[in-house]
Amino acid sequence: MKKVGIIGVGQSNFVRGYPGSIRELAFEGFKEAMGDAKIQTQDIDASIIASAPEYDKQRSPAGVVAEYLGLIPQPTFYIESVCSSSSTALKVAYSMIMAGLHDVVAVVGFQKMSEISSNESQERMGRGADIQWESPFGTMMPAYYAMYAQAHMAKYGTTPEDLARIRVKAASYGQINEKAVYRKPVTMDMFSDPENNMSADVARPLRVGDCCANADGSSCIIVASEEKAKAIHDKPVWILGIGAASEAVNMAGREMLTGLRVGIEAGRQAYEMAGITAKDIDVAEVHDCFTIAEMMAYENLGFAKPGEGKDLIASKETYKDGSIPVNVDGGLLSKGHPIGATGGSQIRTIVLQLREEAGEMQVKNPEIGLVHNIGGVGLYGNVTILGR
Partner 1 sequence: MAKKEIDDRFKKFGTVSFTAITKTNDFIDYLANGKVMGSRCKNCGAVYFPPRSDCSSCLTSSMEWFEVTGNGKLLSFSELKYGPVGFEGDLPYIIALLDYGDYKVFGRISADLGYEDLQVGMMLKTEANVLPNGQLNYIFARP
Residues 173-202 that bind partner 1 (CB under 8 A): 200-202
Number of residues that bind partner 1 (CB under 8 A): 42
Separation between Cα atoms, residue 267 and residue 348, nearest integer Å: 19
Distance CA 173, CA 288 (A): 14
254 binds partner 1 (CB under 8 A): yes
Out of 99, 119, 194, 234, the only residue in the binding site for partner 1 (CB under 8 A) is 119
Written as one letter, the residue type at 162 is D
- Out of 17, 99, 132, 178, which residue is the one contacting partner 1 (CB under 8 A)? 132
Helix (H) or strand (E) holding 245: strand 237-246
DSSP state string for 85-123: HHHHHHHHHHHHHHTTS-SEEEEEEEEEGGGS-HHHHHH
Nearer to partner 1, 123 or 226 (CB): 123
d(C-alpha 140, C-alpha 135), whole Å: 8
Distance of alpha carbon 147 from the chain centroid: 21
Residue 253 interacting with partner 1 (CB under 8 A) = yes
* 135 contact partners, CB below 8 Å, separation of at least 6: 126, 127, 129
Region from 131-139, 175-183, 213-221, 265-273 binding partner 1, contact rule CB under 8 A: 131-139
Q: Smallest gap, in angstroms, from Cβ of residue 226 to partner 1?
A: 40
Check residue 293 for interaction with partner 1 (CB under 8 A). no
- Closest distance between partner 1 and the C-beta of residue 145, in Å? 8
- Cβ proximity to partner 1: between 144 and 319 the closer is 144
Instruction: List the catalytic residues.
Output: 83, 337
Of 16 and 204, CB closest to partner 1: 204
Which residues ranging from 148 to 177 are in contact with partner 1 (CB under 8 A)? 148-151, 154-155
CB 296 within 8 Å of CB 263:
yes
Alpha-carbon distance 375 to 111, whole Å?
14
**Residue from 16, 38, 57, 204 in contact with partner 1 (CB under 8 A):** 204
* Residue numbers at the binding site for partner 1 (CB under 8 A): 119-120, 122-123, 125-127, 130-140, 142-144, 146-151, 154-155, 200-206, 250-254, 257
